[in-house]
Structure 1
Amino acid sequence: MRTKAGLWIDHRKAIVVAVTEKGEEIREIISNEVEKQLRRSGDSPLKGTYESLQIPADDSRQRNFTGQLNIYYDAVIASIRDAEAIVIFGPGEAKDELKKRLEKNNLGGRVVGIETVDKMTDHQIAAKIRQHFVQSR
């Protein structure tokens, strides 16, 4: 069975639509651990010589953020791995980061389109994906 997939993605969630001859399936994948804004913990303002011990180093917070994103992107990739054609869209950097991750997994050749769009409902996403694959026939 030939499957085509499209998805809307940002750093918080992905809406994946798989289209086959039998119809379509919509799935939502949530990024549980990723925060949009990395925040420092502790009282503010911190005083004393122990501030560096109370606030995680920026590079360790960035490594944690990147690690969580990689887990999230791997879950998204697992849901679209069998698709012969993939279209990706969304508002920010996540769509390009996902494309690079797909290329790293030797799936980059299946990406047939990337587009910047703002927030959409699940129905709008499904309609846009259907329209994209109907026009590309």
Structure 2
Amino acid sequence: MEFKSVGIWLDLSKAHFIGYQDGTAQFLETLISPHERIKREEGEENDTHQFSPNPEHMSNNEYRKNNITQNELNEYFKLLEQKIATFEDVLLFGPGTAKDQLKNRVSESKSMKDKWVSVQNADKMTDNQLLAFVRDFYKN
């Protein structure tokens, strides 16, 4: 079945793609983010410990980690954009800010300007709740 509508439950660690067509919602795939929330290198304590006793000072280590995190998130959102490109209607839902960040990226992209994108808040859900959420959203 070729889906034109998709619901994507996402946070910064993963995205569940749920296709919708003719009253039927079906899991398509789960994309795991390359972004790791907490990174610690062996023997490392908190970020200010390594270079400076001053807690207001941002260490090189903290700056480097922030860069790595931003690059990983950009990679994750790029992957999501590529997957979204095949759908006409996109529902982004989930906790946190990942859905809003992705909507902003999609709305700034010239290749995605014809897409209909909606954002809804939602908490963690079971598989059946995810399917029902997408089904109910597109029925209305």
TM-score under structure 2 normalisation?
A: 0.76
Checking the alignment, whether the CA contact within 8 Å between 2:18 and 2:134 is kept in structure 1 is yes
C-alpha deviation, 1:110, in angstroms: 2.4
Q: Deviations over 1:75-128 (max 9, x none)?
A: 122222121111111110101111112123232552442111110122211221
Deviations 1:34-61 (A, max 9, x none): 1223546534489x9xx33xx7532221
Distance 2:3 2:88 in 1: 7
CA–CA distance in structure 2, aligned partners of residues 16 and 85 of structure 1 = 13
* Map of 1:124 onto structure 2: 129
CA contact (8 A) 2:7 2:17 kept: yes
**Could you say which residue in structure 2 is the equivalent of 1:59?**
63
8 Å CA contact 1:4–1:19 kept in 2: the answer is yes
- In structure 2, the residue matched to 1:10 is 11
Normalization by structure 1: what TM-score?
0.78
Q: 1:71, CA displacement in angstroms?
A: 1.0
1:68 matched to which residue of 2? 72
1:97-112 alignment runs, 5 A limit: 97-106=101-110, 107=112, 110-112=115-117
Matched residue of 2:132: which SS?
helix
Cα RMSD over matched residues?
2.9
CA distance in 1, matches of 2:117, 2:46: 49
SS at match of 2:87: coil
Q: Which residue type is aligned with residue 127 of structure 1? A: A
Instruction: Determine what percentage of the aligned residue pairs are the same residue.
Output: 26
Q: Which residue of 2 aligns with 1:114?
A: 119
Contact residue 4 and residue 20 of structure 1 kept, 8 A: yes
Q: Distance in 2 between matches of 1:88 and 1:14?
A: 10
Q: 31, 34, 43: which one pairs with 2:33?
A: 31
What is the number of equivalent residue pairs in this alignment? Answer: 130
Change in Cα spacing, 1:35 to 1:19, as seen in structure 2 (3 Å) is: same
Amino acid of the structure 2 residue aligned with 1:10: D
Q: Which segment is superposed worse, 5-14 or 123-132?
A: 123-132
Query: Cα gap change, 1:59/1:69 in structure 2, threshold over 3 Å: closer, same or farther?
Result: same
Structure 2: distance between partners of 1:44 and 1:25: 41
